[in-house]
Chain A
Amino acid sequence: MTFINYAAREINCKIVYYGPGLCGKTTNLQYIYDRTNPAAKGKLISLATETDRTLFFDFLPLDLGTVKGFKTRFHLYTVPGQVFYDASRKLILKGVDGVVFVADSQEARMEANAESIRNLDKNLKDQGYDISVIPYVLQFNKRDLPTAVPSDEMYRQLNIKGEPTFEATAPTGVGVFDTLKAVARQVLMELKKK
């Protein structure tokens, strides 16, 4: 649900990073946070366990600049990836404008990726959204690992609608901003249709 404030001339959009446990959702946000000009970002909030597993969500507000005289503000969220946190994942999808699916490139995580996409599809449906319509970007993370499955094979297994796809290594930032930009583009283009 985009929130357009004509009085303050602001648009607020919500983007959710989704994916299986330990695929690098928080690392994506951490990199964006580290590389963004301090004036353009708010605090990175992480509701995590003592072992740094996301418990509820991470949250990063970003001010990107103005479009047509409106300040564009993106609120980036991650979900907890572990299977048993499904109730929390559902809550975070409320009011989402765009989704980034972060897939783990390691061979051993391919089934977890597929399971997580099925879970995303179901949870979106429960909130009244359709994965085939909502702005959606696919990221193949951890490309630097030796066990990474070839990209075209991952694409074959995980792509659902010919969505923009990016290879990434989140800790060093490869592909991180390309992914964000692609989803922001879709979200803003969606506004154009309204």
Chain B
Amino acid sequence: MSTPDLVLYDEEFQKIKDALGRLRQDSNANVVFLVDKNGQQIAAMGDMTNLDTTSLASLTAGNVAATDGLARLIGEKEFSILFHEGEKDNIHISIVAQRVILVVIFDERSSLGLVRLRVRRATSELDRIFEEITEKAAREKSNLSVEFESPFSEITDDDIDRLFSE
């Protein structure tokens, strides 16, 4: 398969959440979240009431994918930052560690300049965390048979039937 599966454990998940929480605070943003390029939300921090984060994640990934396609059409590798300005709220989108999308939603209590500045700092921190995740995944894979037992190795037809029984 083209991209390896993303497997996230508690330790890294907590680190990611801490990094997002700091970014939200330092940039005065309302919401900060991380989505993988396929549209699945990885983590989110901030006030998410009245926010459909699943749809937001999927549309963000669609947006980034379409913009990537546009970039390649005109001979660019990518447009690494997307910014959408609204009357009240704004969305700042950037790519982290080549595979995940960092989204910051902010209003007049912050500014584009501040968000960009703080995003840059958070990006290098997140880059490091994702490097660890990739290394850990590679390690787990190499001693797969010894230590790591997938919780799904015992999955049965009945388990799957039960999912559709309601």
Asked if B160 and A4 sit within 8 Å, CB to CB, the answer is no
Type the 1/0 row for A1-18, where 1 means its CB is closer than 8 Å to any CB of B: 111111110011010000
- Looking at A64-72, A100-108, A144-152, the stretch in contact with chain B turns out to be A64-72
Residues in A neighbouring B4, C-beta threshold 8 A: 1
Asked if B55 and A42 sit within 8 Å, CB to CB, the answer is yes
Quick check: is B50 within 8 A (CB to CB) of the other chain?
A: no
Interface footprint category on A = 35 or more
- Looking at A20-28, A112-120, A156-164, A185-193, the stretch in contact with chain B turns out to be A185-193
Asked if A87 and B69 sit within 8 Å, CB to CB, the answer is yes
Interface size on B, residues (CB 8 A): 42
Quick check: is B3 within 8 A (CB to CB) of the other chain?
A: yes
Asked if B151 and A88 sit within 8 Å, CB to CB, the answer is no
Within the complex, the shortest CB–CB distance from B42 to chain A, in Å, comes to: 8
22 A-B residue pairings within 8 Å (CB atoms): A4-B8, A5-B13, A6-B7, A6-B13, A7-B13, A42-B52, A45-B59, A47-B62, A57-B62, A59-B55, A68-B152, A75-B39, A75-B58, A87-B69, A91-B69, A95-B38, A95-B39, A128-B2, A181-B160, A185-B157, A188-B155, A191-B150
Residues on A lying within 8 angstroms of B by beta carbon are 1-8, 11-12, 14, 37, 40, 42-43, 45, 47, 56-57, 59, 61, 64-65, 67-70, 72, 75, 87-88, 91-92, 94-95, 127-129, 177, 181, 184-185, 188-189, 191-192, 194
Residues on B lying within 8 angstroms of A by beta carbon are 1-10, 12-14, 36-40, 42, 52, 54-55, 58-59, 62, 65-66, 68-69, 150-155, 157, 159-160, 162-164, 166
